[in-house]
Amino acid sequence: MSVLLDEAQLQIADEAQRLVSAHYSGERLKGYLLERGAFDRELWERFGAQGWTAICYPEAFGGLDLGLLELGLVAEACGGAVTGVAALTSSFAMGQSLLYFGSEEQKADWLPQLAAGSVIGVVAFAEGQDMLPRAPRLRLEAGRLSGSKPAVVAGGIADGAVVLALGADGPVLALVDLSQRGVSRTLLDTFDNSRCTADLVFDDVEAHELPGSIDALAAARAILRLQAVIIGFEQVGGAQKMLTTARDYALTRRAFGQPIGAFQSVKHRIAEDYVLVELARANAIHAASRSGESDFGLYAAAARISATEAYDGVSRDAVQVHGGIGVTWEADLHLHQRRARTLAVEAGPLIFWEDEVITELQGAAQ
């Protein structure tokens, strides 16, 4: 069932919007864009203080025991302000991996810190063009990890990781402390450096299987779905922001004696964008409300597809509506353009989620 937001959820959304947008600075973000390895640590610390890093954990681990929707609303606010903090969703994914599949000891070691935001976590599943490689090149042999993972979001700043590796009997999920010797990271130059994306290399590093992840690919897929829904909300936030920006500009910028928003090619473009945002928002909310249900995978995938279509589409149109000013470094539109594409590929590109939809539909039809 889809939901209407309740009082408490509206409050979280408002609070997040307020704090994140007050903190927004295009200038600061451009700094992070130019500099590899830097991110908005100050904002990240506020997230912790605000309890946002704790949203999806049980109270026993210092969490707030709330759901995907609540975290999604925070992510939506972050999306609107293109925050320079990839860790919210990366830490979430690592924490959920441990929560669902970790040992009691692994949970006790990491979850309270992840919930507090005092450490940063990541997941590293993908290799090459495979989001969930069946035979990962990264190896786990006798508790030692060797090999590498490419383009890990927040990999440049993370303290711990859950990785998909090949064990003695097939793929496994393993927990690795990134502060160990033998771990090296190479920050990548990306079109959105604030993500601190890095290649991670492991040279005979201690790592521990997550005992609950007997079917590691299914476990990784489950985590990816959770992360995809939260990132979906972040995309919705970005798309909504671009929509509002385009609308506002169309009302003020004049040409041929009238606001450009009075020209139907502009006006209808913006109306179409509104529809894209509403579709994406509806799917994100619905997916969040299906967490734990058998059709969650289907709706998570649908949410991801709509979110990517919306953020890419609306940010593309917003630049167009702005004319020349839209393509300058000065205007902040390119920040969204960059972030839209970054988020689109980070948690699995469209072709991955399209396959997910079909597979799930086929499963449901059987």
Residues forming the site for another protein (CB under 8 A): 1-4, 247, 250-251, 258-259, 261-262, 264, 267-268, 270-272, 274-275, 278-280, 282-283, 285-286, 298-299, 301-303, 305-306, 309, 350-351, 353-358, 361-362, 365
Which structure tokens are listed for 225?
A: 């779905």
Contact by Cβ (8 Å): 159, 149: no
Residue with smaller CB distance to another protein, 165 or 298: 298
Contact by Cβ (8 Å): 68, 229: yes
To another protein, the closest distance from the beta carbon of 291 in angstroms equals 14
Which structure tokens are listed for 334?
A: 């390119």
**Helix then strand then coil, % of the chain, to nearest 5:** 60, 15, 25
What span, in angstroms and rounded, lies between the C-alpha atoms of 158 and 39?
A: 12
Contacts of the segment 46-49: beta carbons below 8 A, 24+ positions apart: 46/19, 47/74, 47/85, 47/88, 47/117, 48/116, 48/117, 48/118, 49/117
What span, in angstroms and rounded, lies between the C-alpha atoms of 289 and 328?
A: 40
At 72, phi and psi to the nearest 5?
A: -60, -40
Contact by Cβ (8 Å): 322, 333: yes
Contact by Cβ (8 Å): 48, 121: no
Helix (H), strand (E) at residue 209: strand 208-209
